[in-house]
Amino acid sequence: MTSSPTQPATALVTGANKGIGKQIARLLAEAGLTVHLGSRDPARGAAAAVEIGGDTRPLTLDVTDADSIAAAAERVPRLDVLVNNAGIGLDAGDAAETSLADYRTTFETNVFGVIAVTAAFLPALRAAAHPRIVNISSGTGSLADSVGPDATFPPTGRMAAYRVSKTTLNALTAFYALALPGFRVNCLAPGLRRTDLNARAQAADGDPAEAAAGAVHLALLPDDGPTGTFVSWDGVTPVRW
């Protein structure tokens, strides 16, 4: 039997004062949720919350800082939806050109930040009846679309640290789904969007709101919805791992 769509009451979006994260927060607020808007900069977070309106609450949260994460978790006793959106892309080189420092810095936010935030907020998520986790990944993290005769992306392997971090995030999503059977845990490939992370010309027409809608679709899945999946920005189309 298909259950009716859940309407979670409370959500947290990391890196939500701009870009895709801000649009996700906006759509969740419009859906009637209380949204904790995670931002490293308190002033920018507060400004974004005012702009979005609804029951949107700024939450100072640096996903690379253990004290910041712990303080944020203390303020959120129950959480229905966690959207791990915060991410960085520092490098432009291939695997051989990218420095160890760039790998480490990228993983600190894109991988270890997700692990740390998820662990800190698991008690709050377990207090909810229908917990959901959405990890914002990247199609460029797909191994199937990166190598071989059917590769979608150019064979240069540029932005290696970023892409490897997203491949790792995909694996984390799959294993969180196995470890948390009462949850719905999925990752989204948002496509090339007009954000600070993507300054390339071809991102000029990529509306962040379009990707945000896919994330919100995953955040509001019914109880019999999928878990452990990697889907495109429409929230439905599977992406090859």
Domain limits of the chain?
Answer: 10-231
Token representation of residue 76: 């959120």
- Point out the residues that are catalytic: 162, 166
Task: Tell me what pLDDT residue 161 has.
Answer: 96
CA pair distance 208, 24, nearest whole angstrom: 9
Residues 6+ apart with CB under 8 A from 231: 186, 187, 188, 189, 214, 218, 237, 238, 239
Residues 69-88 have pLDDT tens digits of 999 999 999 999 999 999 99
Class at the top of the CATH hierarchy for domain 10-231: alpha beta
CA pair distance 79, 77, nearest whole angstrom: 7
Task: Tell me what pLDDT residue 70 has.
Answer: 98
Task: Tell me what pLDDT residue 204 has.
Answer: 47
What is the pTM (predicted TM-score) of this model?
Answer: 0.91
**Backbone φ, ψ for residue 86 (5° rounding):** -55, 130
- The candidate with the shortest Cα–Cα distance to 190, out of 20, 15, 28, is 20
CB 48 within 8 A of CB 59: no
CA pair distance 74, 78, nearest whole angstrom: 10
- Least confident range of 49-53, 147-151, 166-170: 147-151
Residues 6+ apart with CB under 8 A from 34: 9, 10, 11, 55, 56, 57
Q: How confident is the model over 134-148, as a mean pLDDT?
A: 93
Task: Tell me what pLDDT residue 157 has.
Answer: 86
Residues 187-238 have pLDDT tens digits of 999 976 555 555 553 444 567 778 899 999 999 999 999 999 999 998 889 9
